[in-house]
Amino acid sequence: MSLSSHRPGRRALRAGALALAIASFAAMSQALPARADDERDAAANAAAEAEATVNALQSQLEGIDASLAQVFIDLQSLNAQIPVAQAAYESATATYDQKSREHATIVGELSAAQGEQSRIDQSLNQATTQADDAQRAIADLVRRKYREGNVDPVAVALTAGGTESITDRAAAADMALRTESQTMTAALDVSSSQRTQATRQDAITERIADLEEKAAKAEAEAEAAKNEADSKLTELNNLKTQAQAKQAEWDSQKGQVQASLDQAEADYQARSAELAAIDEANRASGASYVSASGFRSPLDIPIVVTSPFGMRYHPVLGVMKGHSGTDMAADCGTIIRAVASGYVNAVSSDYSAGNYVDINHGLVGGNSVITEYLHMQAQYVSPGQYVNAGDALGEVGSTGYATGCHLHFGVIQNGSYVEPMDYL
């Protein structure tokens, strides 16, 4: 049989238990540059596995006190979130390391560019000095030629008076031409060098500005990644602290599990005896209220089975336990309807089943059939009342030993619980 207490719906419990893990995964993806696809997939898969763990626990823990079950679910949820948070922290740390390396590389390039700029500045200053010297040399040459009336230096050297031979005079003329040519060539070379250095200076200035911008961006990204890593580490440590506290809480209460299961078993045996007596009376009287094909769903919404009929693993005890019915997902307040016509046999409650209604359908295909509806938050019918298929019996709830809102639907055939879905 299922368990229950007044608790929020299962979907609300799942959302609350895993909000931190999923929000962590969502925040990590938005705060930093996009992660590699495999990292995002790994984080998403881890969060999905954590949610699946909680979903399974909520069904497996049916049969013990709901507040006790919630402690265990919270503990398992925290333990499931820790590896998700660990992965988020490691991913954020890896991003910080990457951004730090990028920043260091850019800073190195910037330092080299600044050194190159210093050398270019020196070369440009030297070229400027040389340009000034060349400018003065050209000015001196112009003034001399102006004073000499712009006379050809070769003619002057060859016609000048004196005792020098024509060879000496020719050499003097050649020297004069060389000097004038060298002066002009030097001036041109210096001018070209000056333009080259100026061009290089413009280029390195532009590169330095670009590197400074990249360095600032890389530094900001590294800082953001560091903050994210610090945040994830804090989150991870908080989860570990919460898990330790929840573990201590669970350790102090887990001894009550067997008491809860013993109570559930006692309720089950008492109800089974009552229902077996009704089955015996049905077979003795031969009363029949419905045909074998006259069964409908107990809910007006599509059936979603959260825990099927039969054996299931109990995560606390580590053993297989029987489940006497089928748990169907539904919000609290959802109308529960009679699956077939019959007489209301019981409108009552106990520790494990919570509020429940039993309907006696008499003989169906030669078998005595009773249906039960557990964990109701409201009951609309009274004992002895006749109901038709589809009549409202009450509302879905989470009373008794239940971990959230749902309907436990059971079928008792000839005194024994059978697969309910075979009748729907």
| Digit-coded pLDDT (tens) for 288-343 | 666 445 799 999 999 999 888 988 765 555 556 778 899 999 999 999 999 999 99
Domains and CATH numbers, the chain: 1-254 (1.10.287), 258-423 (2.70.70.10)
Element (H, E) at 117: helix 66-147
For residue 6, what are its two tokens? 């007044």
Q: CA 103 to CA 218: how far, in whole Å?
A: 5
pLDDT confidence bin for 4, thresholds 50/70/90: very low
| Digit-coded pLDDT (tens) for 20-70 | 443 443 444 444 444 445 655 555 565 565 555 555 555 555 555 666 677
Q: What average pLDDT is seen over the chain? A: 73
For residue 88, give Cα distances in angstroms to 22, 148, 373: 11, 88, 44
CB atoms within 10 A of CB 41: 11
Partnered with residue 397 across adjacent β-strands are 406
The sign of the CA dihedral 134, 135, 140, 144 is positive
Residue type, 249: E
For residue 48, what are its two tokens? 């999905």
User: Is there a contact between 57 and 72 (Cβ–Cβ < 8 Å)?
Assistant: yes
The pTM score is 0.44
Q: What burial class does residue 177 get, using C-beta atoms within 10 Å of its C-beta: 0-12 exposed, 13-18 middle, 19+ buried?
A: middle
Which of 364, 102, 403, 353 is CA-nearest to residue 224?
102
For the chain, first and last CA: distance in Å? 19
User: Is the pLDDT reported for residue 9 higher than 50?
Assistant: no
Partnered with residue 346 across adjacent β-strands are 358
Residue 158 has a pLDDT of 46
What's the mean pLDDT in 374-399?
Answer: 95
Element (H, E) at 422: none
- Using DSSP, state whether 50 is helix, strand or coil: helix
